[in-house]
Structure 1
Amino acid sequence: MKSQIAGVEFNRPIPVRHYGRWIITMLLIALALVTARSIAVNPNFHWDVVGEYLFNPQILSGIGWTLALTVVAMAVSILLAATLVVMRSSGNPVMASISWLWVWFFRGTPVYTQLVFWGLLAVLYPRMSLNLPIFGEVFSAPTKDLFTPAMAALVGLAFNEAAYLAEIFRAGFKAVDQGQTEAAEALGMRRMKVMFRIIIPQAMRMIIPPTGNETIGMLKTTSLVLAVPFAYDLTFAANTVANRLYMPVPLLVVAGIWYLTITSVLMWGQYHLERHFGRGTDRSVSTAAPEKTT
């Protein structure tokens, strides 16, 4: 199609029609509506039972324990991972070897198997004691009193997660150009200031997305602590109620709803952290100061 302005003829752009895209979109919407309707009207889901036990005190207690395990295990694993990265990057071959062996072992064995062994620690070592060359035995206690199921679940989750986070942290720090560190040191900046002002802010752009994924994975991995055995998490609480009612499906739906809710909150927090540390590089994040209005 052509138009003319002041005697000059030019072509008017015609937008491309994406008919296939609209057809596929309508088909997907129709499929989603049919699936949602089939789930909503299916009496075997027992939606009345789902609504009755969604805020059951036993379920809410399981949510609290699941969140506590996730938060504490992630905090401990972050500290361990940072230590492993420092050991790996040090010039000491012994420390570097220990860090490598930690990552090799805990990444190479299933987390369920690790949790089973932590749960059997009291069987393998009935007592824990501390012996000093001069003073002799200064401490001794039954392992089952010190290493409770909650402690075994926490240690098993944190030690396993630290191996994965150590590799994520190491990759994030290696992604920062070494020339920036050398330039900052040439300007007289101290090593600690270079770390917190230059290296860490840039490394966080690489670290936060996979760490957020690992946090969400940790939330769901807590369902395996029954191997310890730790009988207070959300999955165990839902299974306990389901066994009492002889209705596994509605209680699985209850657990799934809560896991989806918590995961959505974690994803929202991860999104805002990525925006914060991505300022200056992400074009979708505005770094300009807001205009003043009068």
Structure 2
Amino acid sequence: MTEQTPSGRARPEAIKAVPVRHPGRWATLAVLAVLTAMFVHLLVTNKAFKWSFILSSYAPGKRGVMFTDPVLQGLRGTILLTITAMLIGIVLGVVVAIMRLSPNRVLSTVAWIYTWFFRAAPRLVLAILFGNLNILWSRIGFGLPFDSQIGKLFGIHDLNAQFYSIRAVDLLAGFTAGMLALGLSEAAYMAEIIRAGIQSIDPGQAEAAVALGMSRGQVLRRIVLPQAMRVIVPPTGNEVIAMVKDTSLVAYVPVTGELFFQLTAVESRTFVVLPVLVAALLWYLILCSILMIGQFFVERHFGRGYGTTGQARQRLRDIQVEQTGRVSVEGEAT
């Protein structure tokens, strides 16, 4: 007998749902499990890894290669190089991005040339180039430009109008050369990221703020950039992680107080290749994993109000408008 509702209509029968089978998923899972087991077995049983050399003492009274004093000093140098290069990249990137968006054709052209050059030049080439810039000058300083030409013009052959100078071989070498190469290169990428974030904001907000009497700088600091951070933070986090890995390039400058340089020095002394490379890989994995965790929390902070909850509420409002033509104050259907 068909069951009826109080209104007299026939109640529909219950739906007999049949679960969808996914044999391909189980087969893929089985293959991945076998490959994972094979990889773990390789790590544990293959003596070529020499885990005691990497993690524990490889000689009486000595620590594993990962925790020796030179390697730990190189780790600190890598962290410091990452921080300084990213500071240069972010600060200069903001300036270049604003120049790119400027209505002044001269500023926008200079910013475009800057981003074109440093995005096209490989970072390894830039690092080696900056490490050898002392070939161009013997000293670098601040003072009047073209002082030697002015001296020749007036017959003063020993004119030196520099207020402060330093030997180029001391300035453009080692850590400073690597920091400048990575920082200036990073600024070009950060400029494009920041420019995309700024352009993602509705220009009507900036126009409304200007109409309220705010200056262009105030609009940028208080209206545009806080909202653009939601778009800027994820790729910036990726750039920080990439910078940690790119610091290994300055080992060719060379920067002696850097992680990869110190590990390659151990390799040269001990003639142990694979375990030293594994030690370097482990340190980079640890550093990048910590940064990924930090990036997750930063993204969640700047993404508040833009997640699935906000999207669901917006969809609810759209459906309500379609059905009733009006929206309630609380954003709930009436």
Aligned counterparts of 1:4 and 1:186: Cα–Cα separation in 2: 66
Q: 1:91 corresponds to which residue?
A: 103
Aligned counterparts of 2:112 and 2:48: Cα–Cα separation in 1: 51
Q: 2:140 corresponds to which residue?
A: 128
* 2:18 is aligned with 1:14: yes
* 2:289 is aligned with 1:264: yes
Q: Is the 8 A contact 2:141 2:162 kept in 1?
A: yes
Aligned counterparts of 2:260 and 2:130: Cα–Cα separation in 1: 20
Q: Is the 8 A contact 2:85 2:180 kept in 1?
A: yes
Q: Is the 8 A contact 2:230 2:299 kept in 1?
A: yes
Structure 2 unaligned regions, length at least 5: 56-63, 151-159, 312-334
1:158-237 matches, within 5 Å, as: 158-237=183-262
* 2:62 is aligned with 1:62: no
Aligned counterparts of 1:284 and 1:38: Cα–Cα separation in 2: 45
Structure 1 unaligned regions, length at least 5: 287-294
Question: CA RMSD of the aligned region, Å?
Answer: 2.3
Structure 1 residue 190: Cα displacement: 4.9
Aligned counterparts of 1:5 and 1:227: Cα–Cα separation in 2: 83
Aligned counterparts of 1:120 and 1:198: Cα–Cα separation in 2: 44
With normalisation by structure 2, the TM-score equals: 0.79
Aligned counterparts of 1:27 and 1:141: Cα–Cα separation in 2: 62
What does the per-residue CA deviation read over 1:228-247, in whole Å, with 9 as the maximum and x for residues that have no partner? 22122111111111221111
* 2:269 is aligned with 1:248: no
Aligned counterparts of 2:275 and 2:161: Cα–Cα separation in 1: 58
Cα 1:193/1:91, change in 2 over 3 Å: closer
What does the per-residue CA deviation read over 1:87-110, in whole Å, with 9 as the maximum and x for residues that have no partner? 222233222221111111111111
SS at the partner of 1:12? coil
Q: Is the 8 A contact 1:216 1:266 kept in 2?
A: yes
Q: Is the 8 A contact 1:54 1:254 kept in 2?
A: yes
Q: 2:49 corresponds to which residue?
A: 45
Identity %: 40
| Number of aligned residue pairs | 284
Cα 1:252/1:221, change in 2 over 3 Å: same
SS at the partner of 1:11? coil
Structure 1 residue 183: Cα displacement: 2.8
Q: Of 110, 126, 130, which aligns to 2:122? A: 110
Q: 2:307 corresponds to which residue?
A: 282
Structure 1 outlier segments of 4+, above 6 Å = 3-7
Q: Is the 8 A contact 1:128 1:141 kept in 2?
A: yes
